[in-house]
Amino acid sequence: MHRQRNAKIVATLGPSSCDLTTVRALFDAGADVFRLNFSHGTHAQHQERLEIIRRVERDVGRPIAVLLDLQGPKLRIGTLANGPITLQAGAAFRLDLDPTPGDATRVPLLHQEIFAALDTDTELLIDDGKVRLKVVSFGPDFADTQVVTGGTISDRKGVNVPSVLLPIPAMTPKDRADLEFGLTLGVDWVALSFVQRPEDVHEVKTIVQGRAAVLAKLEKPAAIESLAAIVDAADAIMVARGDLGVELPAEQVPRIQKQIVRACRATGKPVVVATQMLESMISSPVPTRAEASDVANAVYDGADAVMLSAESASGSYPREAVAMMDRIIAEVESDPDYRSAIDASHTAPQAEVADAICLALQQTANLLPVAAIVTYTRSGYTSLRAARERPVVPVVGMTPEFATARRLALVWGVHAVHADENVSDVPDMVNKACAVARGEAFAQTGNFIVVASGTPFGVAGTTNFLHIAKV
């Protein structure tokens, strides 16, 4: 069984999708990767969901990736003594380190690092920007502000500081505990929230030590300023448009989304577009036309994957949301203009052997009636470099590492196959590649396939071999 499309689907599991029947239905509808959102749920619940995913994986005989999404630092105001308050534009309002419940004139903000990073005229956003404050004066334990946009606030609402690089780590003590727990379960990808600098990614990689791949979620303006360095540091990137859309003007988000996708495609790093893609399907069996266009635009840009959040985690129509996303992707990829757009947005490969081989793969597939590209890979590198070229035929990623096969489930156009046989020489490799291409229904007897690998066999990162074979 293989998908009849290139872009992948990430589906978040939650209360609406936590049983075996529903998870299997989501996979059958098109989900390639399942996200466990550690902002919600207990360790026991996430462990149960992961065990269900692995059972589905065994039942269907296909590698399925599990993405652990860390909560990250959550900046929130404290409590209010007498319930919600309404702030009027132009009014004075203080935030401070005093834990005493607030009132109409002040509220606790128990995050010293925010006050340490403030400047006059810094904006503070409360409750996803519904209330906007401008700093008039500040000290190490307070900020006196003027209300720019009024509104009602209540206990524990979130705070954003869009124009400031906050001196806070990307990982909290909760994140560290969640990460260690997830690694013991065997998750395949770890998503790091609120990345601001490449050092945030390096820190997580030091902890992970190769036990999972690391995906950086870009949701802070500071991250966009260090985009190239963060893309270089991470194994994949997510365009997390929720907080990004709060901290930046809404009209800038589409441009920045495209900027991030272009940067990832140029370097061959997988990129996921996420947040509010089919938001109305939380409560409706069909999306709005604007939402369908949103998903389609991400696919036209060449994103590796698109993601569902609450639509599949807590909505009323999780299977329908995945099936809708699957149909949108298939419709886009059947459009002749889609291939033209993908080719037009392609950037030159790097001047190294692996990219020369993979560029030749793509050109061979354009020139000859090739049914599939087969890559032998231990680390996934050869498959990633082949996918970077966005070839016109599927990439069958053969690997002896099950962890690698699962991680490749996120990557555009790659159909990962766990092949546990050792390869003795080139004829043996070609024979096995032909057998897998035929067995996975990508090629028939008499078709051409193109095989790429590294020699000597089994050494990661040595892509240097290309062979054209007839099945």
Asked if 123 contacts 162 with a C-beta cutoff of 8 angstroms, the reply is yes
Is pLDDT of 420 > 80?
no
Q: List, for residues 204-241, the tens digit of each pLDDT value.
A: 999 999 999 999 999 988 899 999 999 999 999 999 99
Q: Are residues 63 and 93 in the same domain?
A: no
CATH number at residue 289: 3.20.20.60
With a threshold of 0.75, does the pTM exceed it?
yes
Q: What is the pLDDT of residues 274-325, one digit of tens each?
A: 999 999 999 999 999 999 999 999 999 999 999 999 999 999 999 999 999 9
- Provide the pLDDT for residue 415: 97
pLDDT tier at 459, thresholds 50, 70, 90: low
- Looking at the structure, tell me whether residues 205 and 110 fall in a common domain: no
Q: Is 448 found in the same domain as 392?
A: yes
340 within a domain of the structure (yes/no): no
Domain that holds residue 141: 85-160
| C-alpha dist (Å) from residue 448 to 211, 292, 464 | 36, 36, 20
CB atoms within 10 A of CB 156: 12
Residues 256-275: what's their mean pLDDT?
97
Which of 334, 362, 395 is a domain's end point?
334
Same domain assignment for residues 173 and 303: yes
Q: What is the pLDDT of residues 148-184, one digit of tens each?
A: 999 999 999 999 998 788 888 889 999 999 999 999 9
Mean pLDDT estimate for the chain? 94
Distance CA 267, CA 271 (A): 11
Q: Which of 91, 168, 99, 167 is nearest to 134 (CA)?
A: 91
- For residue 256, being part of any structural domain is answered with yes
Establish if 452 belongs to a structural domain: yes
Tell me, what CATH number does 132's domain have? Answer: 2.40.33.10
Sheet strand arrangement including 463-470: 414-418, 395-399, 370-376, 448-454, 463-470
End position of a domain, from candidates 160, 194, 211: 160
Question: Is 80 exceeded by the pLDDT of residue 461?
Answer: no
463 and 364, same structural domain?
yes
On whether residue 80 sits in a domain, the answer given is no
- Is pLDDT at 460 greater than 80 in this prediction? no
Residues 201 and 240 in one domain: yes
Regarding whether 279 and 411 lie in a shared domain, the answer is no
Q: Which amino acid is at 282?
A: I
Same domain for 64 and 184, yes or no, is yes
Q: Tell me what pLDDT residue 169 has.
A: 86
pLDDT score at 354: 85
Beta strands in 208-316 (DSSP E): 213-218, 236-240, 271-274, 305-308
Domain boundary among 142, 160, 178: 160
Evaluate whether residue 15 is within a structural domain.
yes
Instruction: Average the pLDDT over 133-138 and give the result.
Output: 97
Q: Do residues 281 and 330 share a domain? A: yes
Q: Give the count of beta carbons closer than 10 Å to the beta carbon of residue 309.
A: 25
The number of domains in the chain is 3
Which residues on neighbouring strands pair with residue 306, listed in sequence order? 9, 273
Going by pLDDT thresholds of 50, 70 and 90, the confidence category of residue 446 is: very high
Does the pLDDT of residue 455 top 80, yes or no?
A: no
Show the CA angle centred on residue 222, arms to residues 219 and 227, nearest 5°: 80
One domain, residues 209 and 298:
yes
CA atoms within 13 A on the CB side of 227: 21
Q: Is the pLDDT of residue 456 over 80?
A: no
Asked whether residue 375 falls in the same domain as residue 444, the answer is: yes
Active site residues per annotation = 35, 76, 217, 275
Q: Rounded CA gap, 74 and 157, in Å?
A: 10
What's the CATH number where 463 sits? 3.40.1380.20
Statement to judge: residues 361 and 435 lie in one domain = yes
Q: Which residues of 128-142 are buried (b: 16+ CB within 10 A; e: fewer)?
A: ebebbbebeebeeeb
DSSP string, 143-155: EEEEEEE-EEE-T
- Judged by DSSP in three states, 272 sits in strand
